[in-house]
Chain A
Amino acid sequence: MADRAGHQTGRLTLRLILTALVLALACAADAASVTVRVRTPAGTTVEDAAVVLDPASGVPPKSRRSATIEQRGRDFVPYLSIVQKGTAIDFPNRDPFKHHVYSFSPAKVFEIKLYAGKPANPVVFDQTGVVALGCNIHDWMEAYVLVVDTPWFAKTGADGVVRIDRVPAGAYRLRLWHPRQKAAVADIGIELRGATRHLDLVLDVAPRIIVAKPPLDAGGY
């Protein structure tokens, strides 16, 4: 599953690179990179921490993109998706039984009633905010979609490190967010000038409670 997640991330990264190439052609010079290492106060690495760079001024460019959140092995994959406002997300069901995906989050309330395979229409997330996803028939299934209004974002890997490349020079507000963060942290204002900028950030995150799934062959599902 980690490989697939990596593959997924890889494709996203590819898109970002293409976007960066376009931008690099447009505004010749200096693009910067940001790396952030996120740790808990205890020093352990934090995976799935979203790092979002909101430009301090100006309208960030829009990239029309789509995303996919699979239901596989009675889990949402990926756990955290960061998308730019307006992105349509597909919820393909890879399991041999139906799922019932819903969200009561104000940023996007929707419900895909019991379905198998790929739903007819993807769900467009057109409002920024956090959307918590659940499955009505598998209580433990959860996934988060962070809807942002910027193309510069990434989430930490298992090493707790995130890298955002080809960020045009300028002033940004760096936002750090995690679905299980215990408290919100304030945005950090940073100036990017061509070089790679590295930050070490601390975020207190509750451990993910892995609810044991009922065995598949027990029947009743």
Chain B
Amino acid sequence: MILFRTLERRIAVVFVGLLVVVMLLMLLIVARSGEAIIATESERQLSAGARNVGNLIDRDRRQLELAASVLSGDFSFREAIATQDRATVLSVLRNHGSRIGARVMMVLSLRGEVIVDTQRPGKPPRPFPFGDLLRAAENNGRSGDVALMEDGLLYEIVVVPILAPMRTAWVVMGFPVEDAWASEFARGSGLDVSVVATGGIRASSLSPTLRGALERQQSTALSEQPRQLTLEGRNYHAVALPFGPQARVLLLHSLEHSEAVFRELEHALEIVAGAGIALFVIGSFGLARRIAGPVNALARAAQRIEAGDYSQAVAVTAPDEIGQLAAGFENMRSGIASREHKIMRLAYEDTLTGLPNRTRLTEHLAGLDPEAAAMVAVLDLDRFAPINDALGHPVGDRVLQQVGTRLADLMPPRGKLARLWGDEFAFVIEDADELSARDFAAQLLAALREPIELDGQKLDVSGSLGIAFRPGDGRDMDALLRRAELAMYSAKRRQCGYALAGEVGDGPPPEQLSMIGEMRQALDRREFVLYYQPKLAFASNRIVGAEALLRWQHPERGLVPPGLFIPFAEQTGFIREITPWLLGEVAAQATAWRERGISVVLSANLSARDLLNPKLVTLMRELLAAHELPPAALCLEITESALMEDPTLALSHLAELAAIGLKLSIDDYGAGQASLSYVKSLPVHELKIDQSFIGSLATSPKDAAIVRSTITLGHALGLTVVAEGIEGEADLHWLAAAGCDIGQGYFIARPMAAAAFADWLSVREGVPAV
């Protein structure tokens, strides 16, 4: 019900409803008792009036009888009657009748014959039609009653004797019962008097209209028990009195007067009730409003809080229960507000720098017009890991904070900066084209090169920037960030400061994207396996080591060649997930073989990312400790290009790895631009000549010369020189003759699964070396 939807209405409706019910009951009771009182009073008045009328009629009849008796006692009257002279008698009757208002005058013989009749003069004698009346007169001396006479009219008839002095005749006198008669009794009794005889109203004090109405209802009205009837819309109480054998007197008492009194009372009560209800409506709504108002205010506050608006404080108005509730609400609101603020900060803010995080940046970009041009840039600090490692994380954190502040100061008004993770920042600038992007990138990198002062110490910081444009390089944040990140890596590799995504290509094609998923599955399903390719020491003709090579045993595609997925894994960074697994496997394998007396140094390949990963050193330490391996049992092979990505950081990491005692090897030497002076500075133990040189030893004297001088140079630097890709016996002999320390290649052995390797080794070790 709408009526009860609000507390205010519910309170008011209940109060007012109760009052209305009470008032209605009161009015009902008053109306009921009023009706009862009216009925009782009216009946009382009616019965009193009826007694009165009965008495009046009796008295009237006695008076008529008396008058008749007086008349009949008149001497001259008696004398005239005694003379039996009909003409005289007739005129005497008429004369004397008129004296007392009798319309009918008759003389009866003692035998009951009408001798003279003023209404029918000259008619022969006939029997008197009212024998009962005559007999009553004979018994009582005289009689009187009401009867219809031959003229159809109702008469009060009186029969009295003519005494001379004994009874000699009877005189009958008739007095018409007419409206005047009824009106006289009505005046005397205060009731309306009507006389009904043989189905018609003979006389009445009523107006013609009411008389007509009564005529129609006389059957109900003619009861000797009082009853109520309505004439022309007015209420009456009616009672009938017997009036002679043929007639009845019908008495009506109008309820109008009594009803009017009660109607006035009822009106007064209705006014009082109406006024009371009106006052109550105002009062209850006022009260309800005072109760419900604060509650409604609380409800609105709750709705605001529900809608996420915590800004408006809940007003505490009164010290009552609702006030307490409001205070509770206010505490709740401020609690929720501060918690939500905290959550928002956690969700959208980088706690270290106070900058927005990646999520916030993504939302910011999503909130921009998707068609509008924007640039998304990713900035990665160069050589941050060594700072972190050398100076500790607190310093690293402060560096990041300062960089963040510096970048934030550089942001144009329509730019948004965020810290993605680690030392990687990103920002979005609206309406940026390539030109302005280049300008801004240059400006930013220049600003970044300003040394950072920490506790009086100056630190050089630089970064690499990758820039992608919307919509040219993608529309959503993920795509744009990836493109920008790829560009950033490219810039870092090339040490050119910044790169645009459009210049470095699209990154991996879609089938490669699906490959990332497959690789992740492969890792989980242990589809990756390690094959081991033996390393032969020329001097001793013994297998001194083995290189662990990653193979992918795909359930559908079979063995996936490493060249098909490893570069991709390196490019996408997935290698970061594979390497820890690979290192763990290698360490476990080394341990297993050592326990079986197979003591070969196992080499694992590290990508640039692996090498730059600040956690690598820790990981290696943990692995050695976990397997209780001597560090020299493992060798990490790093390509020349991986070193060149971030030479400084690479050097720092290599130094640490070397400090642990691990063997380090420069892989694919000669393919990159690494200078010997740079190699000289590296704490490595081994130099692996790129296999492209080995494959063409027999055909290219230049390559053979390079190999020969590399071996010489390596030895000069105190490094073990390894040749890989040895596919023929001639090459093997050539290399052994050239002083190369270790060889590796198909001619010696293909890479083998661990078990096969162990078998192969046990067979070979029994065979004398070449």
Binding site for B on A (CB under 8 A): 100, 102-105, 109, 132-136, 139-142, 179
Determine the chain A residues whose CB is within 8 A of the CB of B166 once the complex forms: 132, 142, 179
**Residue-wise interface mask of B (198-218) relative to A, using a CB-CB cutoff of 8 A (1 in contact, 0 not):** 000000000000000000000
Question: Contacts A102-B75, A104-B168: A139 and B82 contacting too (C-beta < 8 A)?
Answer: no
Assess the A134–B73 pair: CB atoms within 8 A: no
Assess the B82–A134 pair: CB atoms within 8 A: no
Task: Knowing that A104-B168, A141-B165, A179-B166 touch, tell me 7 more A-B residue pairs with CB under 8 angstroms.
Answer: A104-B78, A104-B164, A105-B164, A109-B82, A132-B164, A134-B163, A136-B75
Tell me whether B79 is interfacial, beta carbon within 8 Å: yes
Residues of B150-208 contacting chain A, CB below 8 A: 163-166, 168
- In Å, the complex CA distance between A51 and B78 comes to 31
24 example contacts (A-B, Cβ-Cβ < 8 A) are as follows: A102-B75, A103-B164, A104-B79, A104-B82, A104-B164, A104-B168, A105-B164, A109-B82, A132-B164, A132-B165, A132-B166, A133-B165, A134-B163, A134-B164, A135-B165, A136-B75, A139-B73, A139-B163, A139-B165, A140-B165, A141-B165, A142-B165, A142-B166, A179-B166
Determine the chain B residues whose CB is within 8 A of the CB of A133 once the complex forms: 165
A48 to chain B, nearest CB (A): 14
The listed residue with most A CB atoms (<10 A of its CB), out of B73, B164, B165, B166, is B165
Determine the chain A residues whose CB is within 8 A of the CB of B82 once the complex forms: 104, 109
Determine the chain A residues whose CB is within 8 A of the CB of B75 once the complex forms: 100, 102, 136
- In Å, the complex CA distance between A130 and B325 comes to 125
The listed residue with most B CB atoms (<10 A of its CB), out of A104, A105, A133, is A104
Determine the chain A residues whose CB is within 8 A of the CB of B78 once the complex forms: 104
Determine the chain A residues whose CB is within 8 A of the CB of B163 once the complex forms: 134, 139
B532 to chain A, nearest CB (A): 171
The residue on A at minimum CB distance from B164 is A104
Sorted nearest first, the 7 A-B pairs with minimum C-beta distance are A134-B165, A104-B82, A142-B165, A104-B164, A132-B166, A136-B75, A134-B164
- In Å, the complex CA distance between A18 and B73 comes to 44
Interface of A is mostly: strand
- In Å, the complex CA distance between A126 and B481 comes to 174
Number of B interface residues in the complex (CB < 8 A): 10
- In Å, the complex CA distance between A104 and B163 comes to 10
B221 to chain A, nearest CB (A): 44
The listed residue with most A CB atoms (<10 A of its CB), out of B75, B79, B166, B168, is B166
- In Å, the complex CA distance between A115 and B164 comes to 19
Q: Once A and B bind, how many residue pairs between them come within 8 Å at the CB atom?
A: 28
- In Å, the complex CA distance between A134 and B73 comes to 11
- In Å, the complex CA distance between A17 and B123 comes to 55
**Residue-wise interface mask of B (63-101) relative to A, using a CB-CB cutoff of 8 A (1 in contact, 0 not):** 000000000010100110010000000000000000000
- In Å, the complex CA distance between A139 and B72 comes to 12
- In Å, the complex CA distance between A102 and B79 comes to 10
Determine the chain A residues whose CB is within 8 A of the CB of B164 once the complex forms: 102-105, 132, 134
Determine the chain B residues whose CB is within 8 A of the CB of A135 once the complex forms: 165
B69 to chain A, nearest CB (A): 10
The listed residue with most A CB atoms (<10 A of its CB), out of B73, B78, B79, B164, is B164
Determine the chain A residues whose CB is within 8 A of the CB of B165 once the complex forms: 132-135, 139-142
The residue on A at minimum CB distance from B166 is A132
The residue on A at minimum CB distance from B168 is A104
B84 to chain A, nearest CB (A): 9
- In Å, the complex CA distance between A102 and B163 comes to 12
The residue on B at minimum CB distance from A142 is B165
Determine the chain B residues whose CB is within 8 A of the CB of A109 once the complex forms: 82
Determine the chain A residues whose CB is within 8 A of the CB of B79 once the complex forms: 104
The residue on B at minimum CB distance from A134 is B165
- In Å, the complex CA distance between A103 and B73 comes to 14
The listed residue with most B CB atoms (<10 A of its CB), out of A103, A133, A136, A142, is A136
- In Å, the complex CA distance between A132 and B110 comes to 16
Determine the chain A residues whose CB is within 8 A of the CB of B73 once the complex forms: 139
Residues of B267-288 contacting chain A, CB below 8 A: none
B201 to chain A, nearest CB (A): 41
Residues of B384-403 contacting chain A, CB below 8 A: none
- In Å, the complex CA distance between A54 and B166 comes to 26
A4 to chain B, nearest CB (A): 22
The residue on B at minimum CB distance from A76 is B165
A184 to chain B, nearest CB (A): 13
Determine the chain B residues whose CB is within 8 A of the CB of A142 once the complex forms: 165-166
- In Å, the complex CA distance between A100 and B78 comes to 14
- In Å, the complex CA distance between A135 and B79 comes to 13
- In Å, the complex CA distance between A32 and B165 comes to 38
- In Å, the complex CA distance between A102 and B168 comes to 14
A190 to chain B, nearest CB (A): 30
A44 to chain B, nearest CB (A): 21
- In Å, the complex CA distance between A105 and B78 comes to 12
Determine the chain B residues whose CB is within 8 A of the CB of A103 once the complex forms: 164
A91 to chain B, nearest CB (A): 15
B67 to chain A, nearest CB (A): 16
A49 to chain B, nearest CB (A): 17
The residue on A at minimum CB distance from B69 is A139
- In Å, the complex CA distance between A140 and B73 comes to 11
The residue on A at minimum CB distance from B167 is A132
- In Å, the complex CA distance between A104 and B78 comes to 9
- In Å, the complex CA distance between A179 and B165 comes to 12
Determine the chain B residues whose CB is within 8 A of the CB of A105 once the complex forms: 164
Determine the chain B residues whose CB is within 8 A of the CB of A136 once the complex forms: 75
- In Å, the complex CA distance between A160 and B78 comes to 34
- In Å, the complex CA distance between A141 and B166 comes to 10
B687 to chain A, nearest CB (A): 181
The residue on B at minimum CB distance from A136 is B75
A122 to chain B, nearest CB (A): 21
Determine the chain A residues whose CB is within 8 A of the CB of B168 once the complex forms: 104
- In Å, the complex CA distance between A136 and B163 comes to 11
- In Å, the complex CA distance between A105 and B166 comes to 10
- In Å, the complex CA distance between A10 and B163 comes to 32
The residue on A at minimum CB distance from B165 is A134
The residue on A at minimum CB distance from B76 is A136
The residue on B at minimum CB distance from A135 is B165
- In Å, the complex CA distance between A135 and B78 comes to 12
- In Å, the complex CA distance between A126 and B536 comes to 210
- In Å, the complex CA distance between A104 and B85 comes to 13
The residue on B at minimum CB distance from A103 is B164
- In Å, the complex CA distance between A104 and B80 comes to 10
- In Å, the complex CA distance between A100 and B163 comes to 15
